[in-house]
A = this chain, B = another copy of it.
Amino acid sequence: MNVQLFETAKQDADITLEQWEEFAQSFVMGQAQKGEILLGHDQEAKYIWIVVSGVMRNFDNDSKGKEYTKVFRGPGEMLGPYSEILSRSKTRYSIQAVTQTTFIRFPYAQFESMMAKYPQWERLGRKIAEKNFLEKEKREYELMHLSAEDRYQEFLKQYGALAEQIPQYQVASLLAISPEALNRLLKNKKA
């Protein structure tokens, strides 16, 4: 996992192995049970998680308890309160283990100090921000242009094998529809 991430970093921004090791000093391994909340609402936004195995998600719920999921992440992917860190605010969206997971966690401050020290890391930081931006643009497009059904198709395409590990009501919360609506949509598909 660690190795795979380094390879990407090397390719994106010529990160050296020495630098990566300096960075990885801050890594802490951990595990979480299905459903466990790793970062709750209104807490301090400090850490980024890397999924080693399992599925994690970033979600919140409104005043009526309705859930909204921003993203699911699987093995080799990162997630965390990125926007809250950037805007220096308390967390709005929680981080949760969707399934039993193993993860690596590091403080974003460590990444920041790498960026301050090495221009290549600044570049890596830019690439990451750009990638996240592109992801959000795609999402904006889907939310604006597509029907619930078409968003579901996109979901399948994007998440592939991960999709099966995610409970239906959480998928609904990603698509911004009710669990009942998703259920009916699926029923009609089969017929």
Q: Which among A83, A137, A139, A143 has the greatest number of chain B C-beta atoms within 10 A?
A: A137
A110-121 vs B: 1/0 string, CB under 8 Å? 000001000100
Q: How far is the CA of A129 from the CA of B122 in the complex (A)?
A: 12
> Do B129 and A86 touch across chains, with their CB atoms under 8 A apart?
no
The main secondary structure of chain A at its interface with chain B is helix
**A176 touches which of B129, B136, B144 (Cβ 8 Å):** B144
Q: How many copies does the complex hold?
A: 2
Q: Which residues of B contact A176 (CB under 8 A)?
A: 143-144
Q: A62-B145, A122-B126, A140-B140 are in contact. Are A133 and B83 (CB under 8 A)?
A: yes
Which B residue sits closest to A71, measured CB to CB? Answer: B140
Q: Which residues in chain A, 3-30, are within 8 Å of chain B measured between CB atoms?
A: none
> Does A70 reach chain B (CB closer than 8 Å)?
yes
Q: Which residues in chain A, 127-152, are within 8 Å of chain B measured between CB atoms?
A: 129-130, 132-134, 136-137, 139-140, 143-145
